[in-house]
């Protein structure tokens, strides 16, 4: 009797094993797209989408974690001061003027201080 049960299980094994393999393949079929999205998000380390994100990632990410950059929440004049300080004291090469404007516009718009509304 016991041998009969074992033999029936062995006979069914190819069916359930192939179903299991197909099920696993179906489940993991979506993983590459999730991985690609995650890779893009990791590349920008939380920088919000917007014009200038690539430039900020390239220029700032050359020396800093982009997470550090996104934590600052500075107004434009402070970002400008920080760039001057990095140029003069830290040996950072000056950005081309058009790229500097793009970077400062992005930092101000997306990584500036929270916008507040006045109450009357």
pTM of the predicted protein model = 0.63
pLDDT digits (tens, 9 = 90+) for 35-94: 555 555 567 888 999 999 999 999 999 999 998 898 999 999 999 999 999 999 999 999
Q: What's the rounded Cα separation, in Å, for the pair 68 and 78?
A: 15
pLDDT of residue 10: 61
- Are the beta carbons of 91 and 28 closer than 8 angstroms? no
What percent of the chain clears pLDDT 70, i.e. is strictly above it?
62
Q: What's the rounded Cα separation, in Å, for the pair 35 and 23?
A: 20
pLDDT band at residue 13 using 50, 70 and 90 as cut-offs: low
Q: Where are the alpha helices (DSSP H) in 29-119?
A: 31-44, 53-61, 66-71, 76-89, 97-111
């Amino acid at each position: 009797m016991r041998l009969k049960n074992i033999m029936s299980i062995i006979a069914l094994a190819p069916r359930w094993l192939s179903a299991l393999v197909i099920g696993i393949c179906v489940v993991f079929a979506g993983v590459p797209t999730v991985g690609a999205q995650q890779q893009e998000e990791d590349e920008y380390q939380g920088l919000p989408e917007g014009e200038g994100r690539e430039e900020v990632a390239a220029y700032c990410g050359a020396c800093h974690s982009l997470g550090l950059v996104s934590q600052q929440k500075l107004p434009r004049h402070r970002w400008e001061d920080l760039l001057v300080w990095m140029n003069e004291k830290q040996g950072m090469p000056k950005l081309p003027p058009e790229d500097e404007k793009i970077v400062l516009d992005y930092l101000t718009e997306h990584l500036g201080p929270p916008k507040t509304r006045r109450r009357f």
